[in-house]
Amino acid sequence: PAPPDCRSGDIVFGPEGELLITMGSGRSLRFLSVPELQELRSIELGGVFPFFWVSGERLITSTRASVDNTHRVLRAWALSGGEPTVIGTYDTRRYWRTRVDATVSRIAGGRGRELVVQRLDASRAERVIGELPDAVSAVSFLPGGNRLLSLDESGELRLWKLSAPGRSRLLGTTSGTWSSVTASDREGRRIAVGDVNAAVKLWDLEDPPDAEPLVLRRPETLGCLEAAFDTQGQWLAVNNCRSGVAFWPLEGRGLRTLRGYRGGGWNLSFSSDNRWLANCEAFEPARLWPLDPSEGSIRELIPERPGPCFGLALHPAGTHVLVGQGGGGAHLFSLRGETARP
């Protein structure tokens, strides 16, 4: 459960998955054992509005260093205990929603719509990685340190390569960007992003670019939200200050929302191998959904002479779909994406 005065949604696993670290009462952090979730110890941060994350064998914290929050201080804590080491300070008027890479040598943050990376050594060398459509809401280094995730106030989630500044891949959109969650698994393959519409969206970077994310829903409105993958990639922990931490199993596939259905369909059919769902709607083209997100997104089955769909049939071998049209005639479509045949 979350403490009664939870002030931060941050939550992280230890490097071996044996610890879960989350916010405690006041200005403290709680260290919980996994899987028992028994509190082992807590530490006082000595600052308000903290952010924290694990980097190797160290816990990195960012706390307010001035009353007006114009400066913040970065500290490194050994997970085994002891006093912290001060890494340095940064100016929040220059950078917002910052994160430090695993080597604690670079800091990434937002400056208005700009995504900026700065070295933490004496040079303080700075690079602008790109410009977002709206103000930066969250940033995160992916494992390896050569890729960045950004979330802006319009809800766009983008992937950037530090070796190719100015270019990004749009992964998708989410709602309620006051939530700064942009968690990734240990391999940097799966991305979890919070959505205030009682959901967490999960992207797999190995899926096709047009694949829709898996949506994990909760019955209550999400509040102060963060998320973390365990070290084996089998669980996603989602912290909601209003009701505690939920653990989602990530093995297998969960419920999916298949968008594009307008209602009033003549028939809705599964292929024999359960890979596809086909639908025929009055005065609309037939549609085909892949049931595995890695197969891509919705396909509209449009023949050379478009017309309303009045029936369809899936081949027993799961290779083709036959679409009947008003006024006579039918078209055969391959489920492998080949051209329709009348």
Q: To the nearest whole number, what is the mean pLDDT of the chain?
A: 78
- Percent of the chain at pLDDT > 70 equals 77
Residue 342 has pLDDT above 80, yes or no: no
CA 169, 163, 159 angle in degrees (round to 5)? 20
Q: Given this model, what pLDDT does residue 211 score?
A: 75
Q: Given this model, what pLDDT does residue 166 score?
A: 92
How is 191-231 classified by DSSP, letter by letter? Answer: EEEEETTTEEEEEETTS-TTPPPEEEE-SS---SEEEEE-T
Q: Given this model, what pLDDT does residue 178 score?
A: 47
Kindly give the residue spans of alpha helices, DSSP state H, lying in the chain.
Answer: none
Residue 282 has pLDDT above 60, yes or no: yes
Q: Quick one: which H or E segment has residue 31? A: strand 28-33
**pLDDT band at residue 169 using 50, 70 and 90 as cut-offs:** very high
84-98, 177-191, 284-298, range with the lowest pLDDT: 177-191
Q: Given this model, what pLDDT does residue 117 score?
A: 92
Q: 317 near 271, Cβ under 8 Å?
A: no
Q: Given this model, what pLDDT does residue 192 score?
A: 87
Residue 7 has pLDDT above 60, yes or no: no
For the chain, report the end-to-end CA distance as a whole number of angstroms.
60
25-34, 110-119, 145-154, 237-246, range with the lowest pLDDT: 237-246
Between 77 and 282, whose confidence is greater?
A: 77
Q: Given this model, what pLDDT does residue 254 score?
A: 56
Q: Given this model, what pLDDT does residue 221 score?
A: 56
Mean pLDDT over 119-124 rounds to 83
User: How many whole angstroms separate alpha carbon 304 and alpha carbon 263?
Assistant: 24
195-199, 254-258, 312-316, range with the lowest pLDDT: 254-258
Q: Given this model, what pLDDT does residue 256 score?
A: 59
Sort 138 into a burial class: Cβ within 10 Å, 0-12 / 13-18 / 19+.
Answer: buried
Per DSSP, 293 falls in state G
Q: What's the per-residue H, E or C state across 32-90?
A: EECCCCCEEEEEECCCCCCEEEEECCEEEEEEECCCCCCEEEEEEEECCCCCCEEEEEE
Mean pLDDT over 13-22 rounds to 86
Residue 27 has pLDDT above 60, yes or no: yes
Give me the numbers of helices (H) and strands (E) for the chain, helices first please. Answer: 0, 30
pTM over 0.85: no
